[in-house]
Structure formats: C-alpha cells, structure tokens
C-alpha cells in the first residue's frame, strides 16, 4: 500500500475541480462554468487496496484584489507545498501563452514530479493539442538543473479520456507507506463545509453573472440526526439590489436555489434534508476579516 499527496494547480476554469472529482470518481469539489468557483484548498481522498491518493484541489492562479482573494491565493500556494506529485492543468481548447509556459517552468524548479494535464481535449481536437505539445517540448528535457516535466497527459473530464491512465501514472509515483485518512473518508472537510459549498454551487449556477463573486455562505445551524439533517444558512451578498435578485420575484429564486441545494445535500448524505435559506447584505464582506471568518475563510 502506497500513499501520497497530489497538488492540482492552474488557471481558473481549466477543470481542476472536475479533474479531482473524475480521478476520485465522486463529486468532492463544486464545479460551475464561472471562474473562481473554488475558494479553499479542498482535499479529496481516493483509497483502494493498492494506494491512498490525497488530492489538493486549489482555487487557481489569481491576482488578489480583496482579502478573500488573498486568502484564495494562500490556499492555492498550499497546493504546491508538501506534495509528492504536482498536476498542472491547462485548458487544451485555449491558446497556450508565454505566461503558461513560464508558470510551468517555475513550478518545475520546485523539484516535485510534475505532470502537465492538457484538459478539455473533447473541445480541442488534435489540431489544437499538437501545437501545445510542441510548445511544451523544451520542458520535457532537463535544463540548467531544472527537472523535466514527468508526464504530459491529454484528458477530458467530460468524456473521461485518459483519466484511468492518469491515475495509473500518479500511482506509480507514490512513495509513502502511511494511511493518512481512514478508509471511507472522501474529503478532509466536515459535512458542514460541504453543505455550504453545495448551496454556493447551486446559487452560482442559478444566478446572473454579476452576483456570484460577491456571495458567501454561512451555515448557522447544522444538526445531523440519524435520518435527517436540519440546516439553516445565510447567503451573504454585497448589495441590497443583489439581495432582491437572490430572493427573486415572489421569492422564486431563493426557493429554486434552496430546492436544488436540498436535493444535492440529500444525494450526498443519503438523509432527509430540511434546509432554510436567508439572504443577508454585508457590504464589502470580501474585505472584512471578521466577515470572512464567519464564512469560513480563515487562515
Ligand atoms: N468540455 C469540457 N469542459 C470541461 C472539462 N473539464 C471541466 N470542464 C468545464 O469547465 C468549467 C470549469 O470547471 P472547473 O472544474 O470548475 O474548473 P476549475 O476552476 O479549474 O476548478 C465547468 O463548466 C466544467 O464543466 C472537459 O474536459 N471538457
Ligand atoms: Mg475549482
């Protein structure tokens, strides 16, 4: 039995969270088409008879503009510290830029076995992928003491291409002999955190584009019983106008978010869920340390 930590890093929206979910075969991290969906370094755990892989999903690279942004950046950094394998995910359907190249080069210098995962091949096709591979080729050889890329793996989280292969390649790099988490654990996060994330995901998916970055979820009540879970949570937003939109006409939107989240939580817990949502306005919460702490963004 071998084990190890695998950091997943890259730009926002390239499919880091989707990749972790695919590799584990369970939905651990929330996924939406919006950038910066992931705010915390979330560990996802895959345990088999042969290995335990602990993936560290991260928010992705960003230039912090708020206190929340700073928190997210720190969480991202933690994904390339103390890991045994680094997965740098890039979006194969997009142009590969000089800054992508430099980023990979810098990470290679850390000396951690590094895989470049070229994701979204379902959208890209080989005419897109080949130029990326050729741009990466200088990094496939050692230079000036900088290690080479260990593996380049084109994947699709949509159709599952090469996910098994990637898992095998990672397994071959694991060296620890310790079980870090008990069998059956899927994440390092408590259910209370997971519940907040599910609510946030449904809100992000249902709300218009200008609001999502400005919302946070505070789970204020969380009572898990044998067959039921009682939850009360606030959707925190920045403006009165946003509050109106989140509530919607006649309360339609909040009801929709609540139903969708309740189904998601029931699926996850296998229990009957009672979920009550409230909307609160906290101007500039993303810059207020005490509010950030209330929403679980503590470092
Ligand atoms: N077509 C396609 N879409 C993908 C793939 N992987 C992720 N996505 C989509 O890309 C968006 C961002 O994914 P997410 O995992 O949240 O990216 P992250 O920000 O890097 O964690 C979502 O809409 C995903 O459904 C893929 O392999 N193919
Ligand atoms: Mg993510």
Single out the residue in 171, 204, 223 at which a domain terminates.
171
Could you tell me the pTM of the whole model?
A: 0.95
For residue 188, what pLDDT is reported?
A: 96
Residue 117 included in any domain: yes
The Cα 280–Cα 243 span in angstroms is: 7
Q: Is the CB of 79 under 6 A from ligand 1?
A: no
Same domain, 34 and 147: yes
Ligand 1 probe mutation, 11, 12, 15, most atoms within 8 A of CB: 15
Q: Is the CB of 124 under 6 A from ligand 1?
A: no
CA 287 to chain centre: 22
Give the DSSP letter of residue 177. Answer: -
Same domain, 125 and 208: no
Q: Is the CB of 38 under 6 A from ligand 1?
A: yes
Ligand 1 centroid vs 111 CA: distance in angstroms?
28
The count of structural domains within the chain is: 2
Dihedral angle over CA of 20, 21, 27, 32, nearest 10: 80
Q: Which domain holds residue 84?
A: 2-171
For residue 181, what pLDDT is reported?
A: 97
Same domain, 150 and 211: no
In tens, the pLDDT along 70-116 reads 999 999 999 998 999 999 999 999 999 999 999 999 999 999 999 99
Residue 186 included in any domain: no
Q: What is the CATH number of the domain that holds 30?
A: 3.40.50.300
> Which ligand 1 atom minimizes the distance to the CA of 157?
27
For 208-255, strand residue ranges (E) read: 216-224, 228-237
Q: Is the CB of 60 under 6 A from ligand 1?
A: yes
Same domain, 151 and 209: no
The Cα 157–Cα 20 span in angstroms is: 9
> Which ligand 1 atom minimizes the distance to the CA of 12?
19
Single out the residue in 115, 138, 171 at which a domain terminates.
171
The Cα 81–Cα 104 span in angstroms is: 15
For residue 62, what pLDDT is reported?
A: 86
> Which ligand 1 atom minimizes the distance to the CA of 36?
19
Same domain, 146 and 230: no
Q: Is the CB of 270 under 6 A from ligand 1?
A: no
For residue 144, what pLDDT is reported?
A: 87
For residue 126, what pLDDT is reported?
A: 83
Residue 179 included in any domain: no
Ligand 1 probe mutation, 7, 8, 16, 18, most atoms within 8 A of CB: 18
Same domain, 164 and 111: yes
Residue 126 included in any domain: yes
Residue nearest atom 2 of ligand 1, based on CA coordinates: 120
- The list of the chain residues with pLDDT below 70 reads 210
Q: Is the CB of 119 under 6 A from ligand 1?
A: yes
Q: Is the CB of 17 under 6 A from ligand 1?
A: yes
């Amino acid at each position: 039995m071998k084990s190890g930590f695998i950091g997943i890093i890259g730009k926002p929206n390239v499919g880091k969270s989707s990749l972790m979910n695919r590799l584990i075969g369970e939905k651990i991290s929330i996924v939406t088409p919006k950038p910066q969906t992931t705010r915390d370094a979330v560990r996802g755990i895959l345990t088999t008879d042969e290995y335990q892989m602990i993936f560290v999903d991260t928010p992705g690279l960003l230039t912090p503009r708020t206190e929340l942004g700073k928190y997210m950046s720190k969480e991202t950094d933690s994904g390339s510290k103390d890991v045994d394998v680094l997965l740098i995910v890039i979006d194969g359907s997009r142009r590969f830029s000089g800054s992508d190249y430099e980023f990979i080069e810098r990470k290679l210098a850390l000396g951690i076995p590094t895989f470049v995962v070229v994701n979204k091949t379902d959208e890209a096709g080989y005419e897109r992928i080949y130029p990326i591979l050729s741009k990466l080729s200088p990094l496939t050889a050692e230079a000036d003491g900088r290690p080479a890329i260990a593996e380049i793996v084109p994947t699709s989280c949509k159709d599952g291409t090469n996910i098994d292969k990637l898992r095998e390649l990672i397994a071959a790099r694991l060296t620890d002999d310790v079980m870090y988490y008990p069998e059956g654990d899927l994440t390092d996060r408590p259910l209370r955190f997971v519940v907040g994330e599910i609510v946030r995901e449904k809100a992000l998916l249902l709300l218009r584009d200008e609001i999502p970055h400005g919302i946070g979820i505070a789970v204020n009540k969380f009572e898990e019983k044998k067959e039921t879970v009682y939850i009360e949570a606030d959707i925190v937003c920045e403006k009165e106008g946003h509050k109106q939109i989140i509530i919607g006409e006649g309360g339609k939107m909040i009801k929709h978010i609540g139903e969708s989240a309740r189904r998601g939580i029931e699926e996850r817990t296998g229990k009957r869920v009672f979920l009550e949502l409230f909307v609160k306005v906290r101007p500039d919460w993303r810059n207020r340390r005490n509010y950030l702490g209330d929403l679980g963004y503590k470092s």
